[in-house]
């Protein structure tokens, strides 16, 4: 496996992990909602903790949104593009040599 394939695999693993974390958080919230139904203090405490977890997940999702999964291209690369000034200087150097 080349470097780009490995990089893409790691990025996809991060996204899968984030999705799994979101599902787990949803289950926790549903379970805890039943438990704290009678206690206002416990509900406030749970709310603070869930907000903190939500902030962490938002940061992860912001970072993950910037992840670009590259498409692999096979074949031979095209000719290098050079500006006109660079082409002229390269040709002059070759002519001198």
Cα–Cα distance between 18 and 40 in angstroms, integer?
A: 30
Determine the pLDDT at residue 58: 74
Is 59 within 8 Å of 2 (Cβ atoms)? no
Amino acid 71: pLDDT: 66
Q: Which DSSP letter does residue 72 get? A: P
Q: Which residue has the tokens 């893409």?
A: 8
Q: What is the pLDDT of residues 18-71, one digit of tens each?
A: 888 888 888 888 888 777 777 888 888 888 888 888 778 777 767 766 655 566
pLDDT at 69: 55
Length of the chain: 97
Average pLDDT over residues 64-89: 73
pLDDT at 16 over 80: yes
Summarize the confidence of residues 1-24 as an average pLDDT: 82
Question: Residue 68: what pLDDT?
Answer: 57
Average pLDDT over residues 1-27: 83
């Amino acid at each position: 496996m080349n470097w780009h394939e490995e990089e893409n695999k790691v990025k996809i693993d991060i996204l899968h992990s984030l999705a799994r974390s979101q599902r787990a958080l949803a289950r926790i919230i549903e379970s805890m909602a039943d438990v704290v139904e009678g206690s206002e203090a416990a509900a406030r405490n749970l709310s603070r903790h869930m907000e903190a977890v939500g902030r962490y997940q938002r940061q992860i999702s912001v970072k993950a949104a910037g992840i670009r999964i590259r498409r692999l291209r096979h074949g031979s690369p095209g000719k290098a593009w050079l500006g006109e000034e660079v082409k002229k200087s390269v040709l002059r150097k070759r002519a001198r040599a």
